[in-house]
Amino acid sequence: MKPLPTVRAALLAEPENSLEPWLIEGLWMSEAVGIIGGEPKCGKSFLALDLATAVASGAACLRHFPARQRGPVLLYAAEDAAPIVRRRLEGIAHAAGVGFETLDVHVITVPTLRLDRSEHCQALRATVARLRPLLLVLDPFVRLHAIDENVAGEVAPLLGFLRSLQRDHRTAVALVHHARKGAGHERGGQALRGSSELHAWGDSNLYLRRSGQNLYLAVEHRAAPGIDSLQLTLKVNPPALALELVDKAPPAQPCLQAPSRCERIKQILTEAGAPLTQRQLRDLARMRASLVSDALAHLVATGNVIRSAEGYRVNSA
Protein backbone atom coordinates (compact mmCIF):
# COMPACT_ATOMS: atom_id res chain seq x y z
CA MET A 1 0.00 0.00 0.00
CA LYS A 2 1.30 3.45 -0.93
CA PRO A 3 2.23 5.52 2.18
CA LEU A 4 0.65 8.89 2.87
CA PRO A 5 2.70 11.96 1.88
CA THR A 6 4.39 13.84 4.73
CA VAL A 7 6.45 16.99 5.14
CA ARG A 8 8.65 18.12 8.00
CA ALA A 9 6.97 20.83 10.09
CA ALA A 10 9.63 23.45 9.31
CA LEU A 11 8.91 23.01 5.59
CA LEU A 12 5.17 23.64 5.85
CA ALA A 13 3.92 26.71 4.00
CA GLU A 14 4.27 29.85 6.11
CA PRO A 15 1.22 32.00 6.91
CA GLU A 16 0.63 34.90 4.58
CA ASN A 17 2.12 37.98 6.24
CA SER A 18 -0.55 40.16 4.70
CA LEU A 19 -3.44 38.20 6.17
CA GLU A 20 -5.24 40.25 8.82
CA PRO A 21 -6.12 37.82 11.63
CA TRP A 22 -9.48 39.47 12.35
CA LEU A 23 -12.51 40.21 10.25
CA ILE A 24 -14.04 41.99 13.26
CA GLU A 25 -11.55 42.31 16.08
CA GLY A 26 -12.50 40.25 19.10
CA LEU A 27 -15.70 38.89 17.52
CA TRP A 28 -14.95 37.08 14.25
CA MET A 29 -11.64 35.90 12.87
CA SER A 30 -10.60 36.30 9.26
CA GLU A 31 -12.16 33.67 6.96
CA ALA A 32 -13.69 31.92 9.98
CA VAL A 33 -16.76 29.71 9.86
CA GLY A 34 -18.96 29.61 12.92
CA ILE A 35 -22.27 29.76 14.72
CA ILE A 36 -24.34 32.66 16.02
CA GLY A 37 -26.39 30.72 18.55
CA GLY A 38 -29.03 31.27 21.19
CA GLU A 39 -32.57 30.52 22.23
CA PRO A 40 -35.44 32.04 20.23
CA LYS A 41 -35.96 35.81 20.60
CA CYS A 42 -32.44 36.47 21.87
CA GLY A 43 -31.44 38.83 19.05
CA LYS A 44 -29.47 36.36 16.91
CA SER A 45 -30.66 37.90 13.64
CA PHE A 46 -29.93 41.42 14.89
CA LEU A 47 -26.40 40.34 15.81
CA ALA A 48 -25.89 38.65 12.42
CA LEU A 49 -27.04 41.81 10.62
CA ASP A 50 -24.74 43.92 12.82
CA LEU A 51 -21.79 41.77 11.72
CA ALA A 52 -22.90 42.16 8.11
CA THR A 53 -23.17 45.95 8.46
CA ALA A 54 -19.74 46.20 10.07
CA VAL A 55 -18.00 44.22 7.32
CA ALA A 56 -19.91 45.95 4.52
CA SER A 57 -19.25 49.46 5.82
CA GLY A 58 -16.10 49.26 7.93
CA ALA A 59 -17.98 50.56 10.99
CA ALA A 60 -17.43 49.03 14.43
CA CYS A 61 -19.71 46.10 15.23
CA LEU A 62 -22.00 46.84 18.19
CA ARG A 63 -20.40 50.32 18.10
CA HIS A 64 -17.38 48.82 19.84
CA PHE A 65 -15.56 46.03 17.96
CA PRO A 66 -13.49 47.42 15.05
CA ALA A 67 -13.99 45.98 11.58
CA ARG A 68 -10.49 45.12 10.34
CA GLN A 69 -11.57 44.25 6.79
CA ARG A 70 -14.19 45.82 4.59
CA GLY A 71 -15.93 44.26 1.61
CA PRO A 72 -19.14 42.76 0.24
CA VAL A 73 -21.45 40.61 2.36
CA LEU A 74 -23.84 37.96 1.05
CA LEU A 75 -26.96 37.40 3.17
CA TYR A 76 -29.79 34.87 3.14
CA ALA A 77 -32.53 35.57 5.68
CA ALA A 78 -34.93 32.63 5.39
CA GLU A 79 -37.43 33.66 8.05
CA ASP A 80 -37.81 37.39 7.39
CA ALA A 81 -39.59 39.13 4.54
CA ALA A 82 -37.56 41.54 2.43
CA PRO A 83 -39.14 44.69 3.97
CA ILE A 84 -38.21 43.48 7.47
CA VAL A 85 -34.61 42.77 6.42
CA ARG A 86 -34.40 46.21 4.83
CA ARG A 87 -35.84 47.97 7.89
CA ARG A 88 -33.46 46.18 10.25
CA LEU A 89 -30.42 46.94 8.12
CA GLU A 90 -31.50 50.58 7.80
CA GLY A 91 -31.81 50.84 11.59
CA ILE A 92 -28.41 49.26 12.23
CA ALA A 93 -26.76 51.42 9.55
CA HIS A 94 -28.24 54.53 11.18
CA ALA A 95 -26.98 53.43 14.61
CA ALA A 96 -23.54 52.81 13.10
CA GLY A 97 -23.51 56.20 11.36
CA VAL A 98 -23.13 54.78 7.84
CA GLY A 99 -25.15 55.34 4.68
CA PHE A 100 -27.67 52.58 4.05
CA GLU A 101 -27.82 53.30 0.31
CA THR A 102 -24.12 52.51 -0.08
CA LEU A 103 -24.13 49.46 2.21
CA ASP A 104 -22.38 46.60 0.38
CA VAL A 105 -24.81 43.87 1.52
CA HIS A 106 -26.27 41.59 -1.16
CA VAL A 107 -29.46 39.75 -0.18
CA ILE A 108 -30.38 36.40 -1.75
CA THR A 109 -34.06 36.67 -2.70
CA VAL A 110 -35.03 33.07 -3.57
CA PRO A 111 -37.84 31.72 -1.34
CA THR A 112 -35.98 28.48 -0.60
CA LEU A 113 -32.30 27.64 -0.23
CA ARG A 114 -31.46 24.09 0.83
CA LEU A 115 -27.96 22.90 1.66
CA ASP A 116 -29.09 19.28 1.28
CA ARG A 117 -29.89 19.79 -2.42
CA SER A 118 -27.00 19.69 -4.86
CA GLU A 119 -28.56 22.16 -7.30
CA HIS A 120 -29.05 24.72 -4.52
CA CYS A 121 -25.46 24.25 -3.34
CA GLN A 122 -24.19 24.73 -6.88
CA ALA A 123 -26.21 27.95 -7.20
CA LEU A 124 -24.88 29.24 -3.87
CA ARG A 125 -21.31 28.39 -4.85
CA ALA A 126 -21.73 30.24 -8.15
CA THR A 127 -23.11 33.28 -6.31
CA VAL A 128 -20.19 33.31 -3.87
CA ALA A 129 -17.74 32.93 -6.78
CA ARG A 130 -19.33 35.91 -8.54
CA LEU A 131 -19.60 38.31 -5.56
CA ARG A 132 -16.47 37.18 -3.66
CA PRO A 133 -17.98 38.23 -0.29
CA LEU A 134 -15.83 38.63 2.79
CA LEU A 135 -18.75 37.27 4.82
CA LEU A 136 -21.64 34.91 4.04
CA VAL A 137 -24.53 35.04 6.54
CA LEU A 138 -27.13 32.24 6.54
CA ASP A 139 -30.08 32.71 8.90
CA PRO A 140 -31.22 30.28 10.32
CA PHE A 141 -29.78 26.78 9.83
CA VAL A 142 -33.12 25.07 10.50
CA ARG A 143 -34.60 26.59 7.30
CA LEU A 144 -31.69 25.42 5.13
CA HIS A 145 -32.31 21.68 5.14
CA ALA A 146 -34.70 18.81 5.72
CA ILE A 147 -32.24 16.52 7.53
CA ASP A 148 -32.22 15.27 11.12
CA GLU A 149 -30.04 17.77 12.99
CA ASN A 150 -29.32 15.21 15.70
CA VAL A 151 -27.57 12.80 13.32
CA ALA A 152 -23.92 13.71 12.86
CA GLY A 153 -23.73 11.82 9.58
CA GLU A 154 -26.43 14.05 8.10
CA VAL A 155 -25.17 17.34 9.55
CA ALA A 156 -21.49 16.86 8.65
CA PRO A 157 -21.90 16.99 4.81
CA LEU A 158 -23.76 20.31 5.02
CA LEU A 159 -21.11 21.84 7.26
CA GLY A 160 -18.45 20.33 5.00
CA PHE A 161 -19.97 22.13 2.02
CA LEU A 162 -19.87 25.47 3.88
CA ARG A 163 -16.26 24.79 4.90
CA SER A 164 -15.41 24.16 1.24
CA LEU A 165 -16.95 27.53 0.31
CA GLN A 166 -14.76 29.18 2.94
CA ARG A 167 -11.58 27.50 1.73
CA ASP A 168 -12.21 27.82 -2.00
CA HIS A 169 -13.37 31.45 -1.93
CA ARG A 170 -11.73 32.73 1.28
CA THR A 171 -15.02 33.89 2.71
CA ALA A 172 -16.09 33.84 6.35
CA VAL A 173 -19.38 32.02 7.05
CA ALA A 174 -21.76 32.93 9.90
CA LEU A 175 -24.52 30.38 10.43
CA VAL A 176 -27.39 31.40 12.72
CA HIS A 177 -28.62 28.47 14.78
CA HIS A 178 -31.00 27.87 17.66
CA ALA A 179 -30.10 26.65 21.11
CA ARG A 180 -32.34 24.20 22.90
CA LYS A 181 -35.10 25.76 24.97
CA GLY A 182 -34.25 25.80 28.65
CA ALA A 183 -30.54 25.25 28.01
CA GLY A 184 -29.47 28.70 29.20
CA HIS A 185 -27.50 27.21 32.12
CA GLU A 186 -25.23 25.24 29.76
CA ARG A 187 -22.15 26.48 27.91
CA GLY A 188 -23.09 28.14 24.64
CA GLY A 189 -21.72 25.45 22.37
CA GLN A 190 -23.15 22.63 24.47
CA ALA A 191 -26.59 24.25 24.41
CA LEU A 192 -26.89 24.27 20.61
CA ARG A 193 -29.70 22.20 19.19
CA GLY A 194 -28.72 19.06 17.30
CA SER A 195 -25.43 17.30 16.71
CA SER A 196 -22.21 18.29 18.48
CA GLU A 197 -20.74 18.62 14.96
CA LEU A 198 -22.17 22.16 14.92
CA HIS A 199 -20.16 23.29 17.93
CA ALA A 200 -16.99 21.53 16.78
CA TRP A 201 -17.24 23.08 13.30
CA GLY A 202 -16.94 26.73 14.34
CA ASP A 203 -13.73 28.77 14.25
CA SER A 204 -15.53 31.76 15.81
CA ASN A 205 -18.80 31.30 17.68
CA LEU A 206 -21.10 33.88 19.26
CA TYR A 207 -23.68 32.82 21.86
CA LEU A 208 -26.57 34.92 23.13
CA ARG A 209 -28.52 34.07 26.26
CA ARG A 210 -31.04 35.76 28.52
CA SER A 211 -30.89 35.96 32.29
CA GLY A 212 -34.11 37.52 33.48
CA GLN A 213 -34.47 40.73 31.47
CA ASN A 214 -30.75 40.91 30.67
CA LEU A 215 -29.13 39.77 27.43
CA TYR A 216 -25.54 38.47 27.41
CA LEU A 217 -23.04 37.63 24.67
CA ALA A 218 -20.25 35.08 24.94
CA VAL A 219 -17.50 34.89 22.30
CA GLU A 220 -15.52 31.74 21.50
CA HIS A 221 -12.61 31.29 19.08
CA ARG A 222 -10.60 28.29 17.99
CA ALA A 223 -7.34 30.25 17.81
CA ALA A 224 -7.78 33.31 20.06
CA PRO A 225 -8.95 34.13 23.60
CA GLY A 226 -12.70 34.29 24.08
CA ILE A 227 -14.86 36.79 25.94
CA ASP A 228 -17.64 35.99 28.40
CA SER A 229 -20.69 37.81 29.73
CA LEU A 230 -20.84 40.96 27.62
CA GLN A 231 -24.19 42.54 28.42
CA LEU A 232 -26.18 43.81 25.43
CA THR A 233 -29.39 45.73 24.95
CA LEU A 234 -31.59 46.36 21.93
CA LYS A 235 -31.37 50.14 21.82
CA VAL A 236 -34.27 52.02 20.26
CA ASN A 237 -33.57 55.51 18.94
CA PRO A 238 -35.76 55.86 15.82
CA PRO A 239 -34.91 55.25 13.09
CA ALA A 240 -32.00 53.40 14.71
CA LEU A 241 -32.74 49.98 16.23
CA ALA A 242 -29.66 47.93 17.05
CA LEU A 243 -27.88 45.88 19.69
CA GLU A 244 -25.32 47.75 21.75
CA LEU A 245 -23.06 47.00 24.70
CA VAL A 246 -24.42 47.98 28.09
CA ASP A 247 -21.06 47.74 29.80
CA LYS A 248 -17.94 47.56 27.65
CA ALA A 249 -15.94 45.95 30.44
CA PRO A 250 -16.70 42.20 30.66
CA PRO A 251 -17.57 41.69 34.36
CA ALA A 252 -16.20 38.16 34.57
CA GLN A 253 -12.77 38.69 33.02
CA PRO A 254 -10.00 37.29 35.24
CA CYS A 255 -7.94 40.47 35.07
CA LEU A 256 -10.71 42.45 36.73
CA GLN A 257 -9.86 40.49 39.85
CA ALA A 258 -6.21 41.52 39.46
CA PRO A 259 -6.16 44.83 37.57
CA SER A 260 -2.39 45.17 37.96
CA ARG A 261 -1.94 42.52 35.26
CA CYS A 262 -3.80 44.61 32.70
CA GLU A 263 -2.04 47.76 33.83
CA ARG A 264 1.36 46.02 33.56
CA ILE A 265 0.69 44.79 30.01
CA LYS A 266 -0.59 48.21 28.93
CA GLN A 267 2.46 49.91 30.48
CA ILE A 268 4.83 47.60 28.58
CA LEU A 269 3.04 48.27 25.29
CA THR A 270 3.08 52.02 25.90
CA GLU A 271 6.81 52.02 26.62
CA ALA A 272 7.59 49.78 23.64
CA GLY A 273 6.09 52.21 21.13
CA ALA A 274 5.71 49.34 18.65
CA PRO A 275 3.56 46.21 18.40
CA LEU A 276 4.65 43.26 20.55
CA THR A 277 3.72 39.60 20.23
CA GLN A 278 2.13 37.68 23.06
CA ARG A 279 5.39 35.82 23.65
CA GLN A 280 7.35 39.07 23.88
CA LEU A 281 4.82 40.43 26.36
CA ARG A 282 5.02 37.25 28.41
CA ASP A 283 8.80 37.52 28.62
CA LEU A 284 8.81 41.23 29.44
CA ALA A 285 6.03 40.96 32.03
CA ARG A 286 7.38 37.69 33.47
CA MET A 287 3.86 36.28 33.64
CA ARG A 288 2.43 32.90 32.77
CA ALA A 289 1.13 32.68 29.21
CA SER A 290 -2.46 32.12 30.42
CA LEU A 291 -2.40 35.32 32.51
CA VAL A 292 -1.03 37.37 29.61
CA SER A 293 -3.68 35.88 27.32
CA ASP A 294 -6.49 36.75 29.77
CA ALA A 295 -5.19 40.30 30.22
CA LEU A 296 -4.88 40.86 26.47
CA ALA A 297 -8.39 39.52 25.88
CA HIS A 298 -9.76 42.05 28.35
CA LEU A 299 -7.70 44.94 27.00
CA VAL A 300 -8.77 44.21 23.41
CA ALA A 301 -12.43 43.80 24.39
CA THR A 302 -12.46 47.12 26.23
CA GLY A 303 -10.71 48.97 23.40
CA ASN A 304 -7.50 49.74 25.29
CA VAL A 305 -5.34 47.56 23.07
CA ILE A 306 -5.51 46.76 19.36
CA ARG A 307 -4.39 43.48 17.84
CA SER A 308 -2.85 43.45 14.35
CA ALA A 309 -0.78 41.09 12.21
CA GLU A 310 2.38 42.51 13.85
CA GLY A 311 1.15 41.98 17.40
CA TYR A 312 -0.51 44.08 20.10
CA ARG A 313 -0.29 47.85 20.53
CA VAL A 314 -1.98 50.47 22.71
CA ASN A 315 -5.04 52.11 21.19
CA SER A 316 -3.89 55.73 20.98
CA ALA A 317 -7.45 56.86 20.29
What CATH number should be reported for the domain whose range is 22-245?
3.40.50.300
Question: Residue 75 belongs to what H/E stretch?
Answer: strand 73-77
* Mean pLDDT computed over 52-80: 96
Under a CB-based contact definition with an 8 Å cutoff, are residues 138 and 175 in contact?
yes
Instruction: Output the pLDDT for position 303.
Output: 82
Angstrom distance (rounded) from CA 221 to CA 207: 12
Window from 24-28, 59-63, 257-261 with minimum mean pLDDT: 257-261
Is pLDDT at 16 greater than 80 in this prediction?
Answer: no
Angstrom distance (rounded) from CA 246 to CA 198: 29
Counting residues of the chain whose pLDDT is more than 70, the rounded percentage is 92
Please give the DSSP secondary-structure letter assigned to residue 198. Answer: H
Is pLDDT at 257 greater than 60 in this prediction?
Answer: no
- The tens digit of pLDDT for each residue in 146-171 reads 999 999 999 999 999 999 999 999 99
Is pLDDT at 183 greater than 70 in this prediction?
Answer: no
Is pLDDT at 276 greater than 80 in this prediction?
Answer: yes
Angstrom distance (rounded) from CA 263 to CA 287: 13
Angstrom distance (rounded) from CA 196 to CA 151: 9
What CATH number should be reported for the domain whose range is 254-314?
1.10.10.10
Side-chain-facing half-sphere of 87: CA atoms under 13 Å: 8
Instruction: Output the pLDDT for position 317.
Output: 65
Is pLDDT at 105 greater than 90 in this prediction?
Answer: yes
DSSP annotation string for 135-183:
EEEEE-GGGG--S-TT-HHHHHHHHHHHHHHHHHH--EEEEEEEBPTT-
Q: At what angle do helices 259-272 and 278-285 cross, to 10 degrees?
A: 110
Cis status, amide bond into 259, omega within 30 of 0: no
Residue-range domain boundaries for the chain: 22-245, 254-314
Q: How confident is the model at residue 278 (pLDDT cuts 50, 70, 90)?
A: confident
* Mean pLDDT computed over 262-279: 87
Instruction: Output the pLDDT for position 316.
Output: 77
Please give the DSSP secondary-structure letter assigned to residue 15. Answer: P
Is pLDDT at 265 greater than 60 in this prediction?
Answer: yes
Dihedrals phi, psi of 180, to nearest 5 degrees:
-70, 145
Instruction: Output the pLDDT for position 15.
Output: 65
Cα–Cα nearest to 133, from 36, 55, 25, 221:
55
Domains 22-245 and 254-314 in one fold: no
Is pLDDT at 35 greater than 50 in this prediction?
Answer: yes
Instruction: Output the pLDDT for position 216.
Output: 93
